[in-house]
Structure 1
Amino acid sequence: MTTQNLQPTFEKAIFAGGCFWCMVEPFDSLPGIEKVISGYTGGHVENPTYEQVLTHNTGHTEAVEITYDPKIFPYEKLVEIYWQVTDPTDAFGQFQDRGDNYRPVIFYTTPEQKIIAQKAKKEMQDSGRFDQQIVTQIESAQPFYPAEDYHQDFYKKDPARYALEQGARKEFQEEHWEE
């Protein structure tokens, strides 16, 4: 046996689903997840700042970039979790966060990710779980710019504020996913 077979081969997944503060924790402690970074993607301004993105003039959305080992935690499972932590029927933001910079998007980084995301979206629509159209976009990944340090691991840095931010999202999850 060679050590080459034991080395993880990491891939990246990029998901936008509202405030990136709330998108880190659901993925952060899963097996095979190397890191989860808050940032901005999908826009036309290089290296945008948080303040620039808030103006709605950069085209960016807040997102998370997940570095993962697909042998341990496959992309299909990441997409499954994504659906459970977002409202796929709301194209104009997520929960209390409103505007195009909070829109739900799965940014695929490979042709295989695109196929998996499209299939999952169709299955979600066909499931009848939601009585509205699934509007989450599936787009090719664009440059990803890490957010400022104070946005990274926010749920660990300010658990009380994170809990407040998570309120509406948790209620939605309980209504649509708890069985």
Structure 2
Amino acid sequence: MRLFFAVNFSDPVKQKLLDMQNTLRINSLSGKFTLYDNLHLTLVFLGEVTFERYEMLCEILSRLDGFVFPLTIMGAGRFRRDGGDIWWAGIEENRRLSDLHHMLSSKVRAAGFPVENRRFSPHITLGREVRLRSDFDAERFSRTIDGVNTEVNKISLMKSERLSGRLTYTEVSAKTLFERQR
């Protein structure tokens, strides 16, 4: 099974992401847009994993310690590709998110899983293979995304699969983060 660790979002946050995505959609000539239920932030991508190794990942997740922390979705951008760009919503710099990514990556790597060595660039994919109209103002669009605030209160182990021809992400394990005492 194809797995990754992720942060999932509440319905109100996903609705705001969908609003951003709809702006892209109505200005696009073509594209594959992320389904509402699939909107997430990838922490660590794992790829194909056997059932035995899946259990090891569940164990790593269950031993994870951490506290709920704030997260701000801000701005947008794209990764340019020949077949159409990948458009994403950005994440305001967040030390706790970076620390969580590094901690999870280290634990997964120590357990023998291959982990990409590229710089962590947290984002939420809104669409792939997107080709926009030539008059679309990407700079202006990015500036209109001015801070969607949320909390990270759970880390999910997600399974990626095609069901009835649709890419579907399903939570297969999760770890709730601790609330800080006030």
Both proteins in one fold, TM over 0.5? no
Structure-1-length-normalised TM-score: 0.29
TM-score (norm 2): 0.28
Larger Rg belongs to = 2
Q: Which structure has greater strand proportion?
A: 2
Higher helix proportion (structure 1 or 2):
1
Q: Which has the higher contact order (CA 8 A, sep 6+)?
A: 2
